[in-house]
Amino acid sequence: MLDVQNLSTVFQVHSHEVTAVDQISFQIPEKTVVGLVGESGSGKSVTSQSILQILPPNGQIKSGQLHWKGQDLMQLSRKELQQIRGKEIGMIFQNPLSALNPVFTIGNQLIETICLHQNTSPKEARKIAASLLKKVNIPDPETRLDDYPHQFSIGMCQRIMIALSIASRPQLLIADEPTASLDVTIQAQILSLLNDLKSELNMSILLISHDLGVIAQHCDHILVMYLGKIVESGSPQDIFKSPLHPYTQALIKSIPIPDPNIKQAPELIKGDIPSPMNLPSGCRFHPRCPEKLSKCEKECPSLNTIKNTHKAACWLY
């Protein structure tokens, strides 16, 4: 349904060109949850912003193609793009409190969004808004429509954000770290809500997270990103049972085991993420890689199919 080919997104930072996303390709088929994992700064959010073309002013898609149901998203006019944003592709954000406009009631924002994409009278829109709130489990939806975002808890705000993004029944929902700012019990609520909505509305989800647990539980397909490149992709089975790329292996080893009887400390990846302003040559992971070959410093491996759905970008395979 969504086909991303060789997408590169660059930022202008003090006359430097910083490549945040470099030549990535992936597909999101219908009714699937695709997970995108990686450390902070690996380009996950930039990827999602590139899809909807809502990059900050200094960001720009340099090359690549974005195909949405056969349409080239980058060739669309501003108006056509507005028709797709929100209506066919919805998006929820990391910090729900700041993603809602603080000066309007949530009813106002919901009704605005509903009227934008559907032909309804404001009165009907209000009814739809209330039913959306009910769908995301906000108690007493009729009266709460008149409340401002600051009158809700952060978990509720995220549910309102979800209500806003599913208002026009999009076929794809981009969830950019939807649980990053929530505590664990609320995380579970939000994720199960997303899961329910996914089957109810028959939509696909691009779930962006740095939480491997969340990804493992909810995704049909996983993409691992490191410094703007997809280094490995595969089913949860592939990624978690037989990770191929040393980075993925290290990521999985770094998950702490929540058992006081096991005294083994999680293994950390040595070194820091290099600055995207000054990327390493060849494979971007080589300065930190435990299994570095001499080739790794010179040439960048491409993402090759290793087995069925399992792909990795590494010279070891």
Partner 1 sequence: MRRLSHFLDIKSSLACLFFILLALLAIFVPMIPSLDPNNIDLTQTLVAKPPSLTHLFGTDDLGRDLLIRSIYGARVSLLVGIISMSISLSIGTLVGLLSGYFGGRIDAIIMRVVDLFMAIPTLFLILTIQVLLSPSIYNVMIVIGLTSWMGVSRLVRAEILSIKQRPFISAARARGLPELKLIFKHMLPHSLTPIIVAAMLGMGDAILVESVLSFLGLGVQPPHASWGNMFENSLSFMRDAPWMALIPGTLITLTVLSLNFIGDGIRSMLDPKGHHA
Q: Which residues bind partner 1 (CB under 8 A)?
A: 49, 52, 54, 56-57, 78-79, 81-87, 90-91, 93-95, 98-104, 112-113, 116-117, 148, 150, 161, 164-165, 167
Q: What is the DSSP letter of 85?
A: B
Question: What is the Cα 3 distance to its own chain's centre?
Answer: 15
- To partner 1, the closest distance from the beta carbon of 105 in angstroms equals 9
Q: Indicate the Cα dihedral angle 107, 163, 42, 5, nearest 10°.
A: -110
Q: Give the count of beta carbons closer than 10 Å to the beta carbon of residue 317.
A: 14
Burial 132-155 (b: 16+ CB within 10 A, else e): bbebbebeebeebbebebeebeeb
Quick one: which of 269, 266, 168 has its CA closest to 227? 269
Q: Give me the count of residues in the chain.
A: 317
CB 295 within 8 A of CB 315: yes
Looking only at the bridges linking them, the beta strands covering 33-37 and 204-209 are parallel
- To partner 1, the closest distance from the beta carbon of 31 in angstroms equals 22
- To partner 1, the closest distance from the beta carbon of 281 in angstroms equals 34
- To partner 1, the closest distance from the beta carbon of 110 in angstroms equals 10
Dist. CA 207–CA 65, nearest whole Å: 21
Dist. CA 294–CA 305, nearest whole Å: 22
Query: Tokens 């993925």 label which residue?
Result: 248
Cα dihedral across residues 246, 249, 255, 258: positive or negative: negative
Tokens representing 296 are: 């790794």
Query: Tokens 């997303």 label which residue?
Result: 194
- To partner 1, the closest distance from the beta carbon of 85 in angstroms equals 4
